[in-house]
Amino acid sequence: MGFVFKTLAATAIMSALAVSAWPAAAEDVTLGYVAASLEYPYNVAVADGFKEAAQQLGAKAIVLDPRGSVEKQGNAIDDLIAQGVDGIGALPLDGVVAQTWVDKLADHNIPFVSAATQIGDPQKVAWDNVYPKLTALVGMDNVKAGELSGELAATLLPKDRTAKIGIIEGAPGYPQVWQRSQGFKQGLDKAGIKYEVVASQPTDWTPEKGEAVCQNILASNPDVDLFFSQADDMAIGCSRAIHAAGSKARLVATGGGSHLGIDAIRSGEIDGSVCDRPKEEGRLVAKALYEAVTKKNTRMGQLITYDTPAITKETLSRCPAEW
């Protein structure tokens, strides 16, 4: 359960740990959440879902914003420990660094739930091989999401020649970037599509940067057949660049489900995407923490997922917008 009484005195902390085997009452539970950066709508939606679920469960929620800094995320974890929270959730910017946080919290008997990010090196550990000291990993399989986008793209690409593809990446450092690209290529390979990735450039997850990157790629590759955007926001910007250039390039995304992204698919600006549900992700993080704190579910290393269907204009009802 972690700390029951909120105090910084060392003796009081030891007393709290001594009674940690007893379940907490709902009104005594405080859950902390460390975002990645609340400047991005997706991350705001995760935090909102976390706060909503905590309130519904009768628990108090504390949300901290490290503004995209791994170092500040670590400091926020320490701050929450000092405040005596009962459980901590986070969307780690670096799953390898986050492993040290999980180990520290395990030593303090404080449950930790990771949103979206695998704990440990994601290039060495499979998505469903959850770090054993972690209470739960909540989110979508980014490789699988990318694969669904690749399969969707395959239906739009020429079959009689090598297709030219541009990839609009997320921000550097996020494991989701290479995971979604890996899955996308797997989806194309599975469909038997011949293709060449003529450019793959990073962004900062914003429409403005997505537009700029697509402009650059179109300038050097005006005959590109399709763009793959690793999130809705960049796809919205990329669609503006495609229209301005008079290009016939198709556009497929993943990490979809925003209001703007749904509208763009409905209007035909984006051909399709893969649904993500950040508010649901936040809710599930809070629920897993609450159940661990109150001893309703003491299992470790859980993998908690939700439905992430591919979406097109015909299947938008499968993906209610959450941000």
User: How confident is the model at residue 124, as a pLDDT?
Assistant: 87
The residues of the chain scoring below 50 in pLDDT are: 1-22
| Domain 10-139+278-307 CATH class label | alpha beta
What is the tens place of the pLDDT at every residue in 99-109?
999 999 999 99
User: How confident is the model at residue 261, as a pLDDT?
Assistant: 95
Q: Would you tell me which CATH number, out of the four given (3.40.50.150, 2.40.10.170, 3.40.50.2300, 3.40.50.720), belongs to the domain 142-275?
A: 3.40.50.2300
Q: Is residue 71 exposed (0-12), middle (13-18) or buried (19+ Cβ within 10 Å)? A: exposed
What distance lies between CA 269 and its chain's CA centroid?
A: 24
Q: What pTM did the predictor assign?
A: 0.86
User: How confident is the model at residue 20, as a pLDDT?
Assistant: 39
| Domain chopping of the chain, boundaries | 10-139+278-307, 142-275
User: How confident is the model at residue 195, as a pLDDT?
Assistant: 98
Could you count the other beta carbons within 10 Å of the beta carbon of residue 271? Answer: 22
Domains 10-139+278-307 and 142-275 share a fold: yes
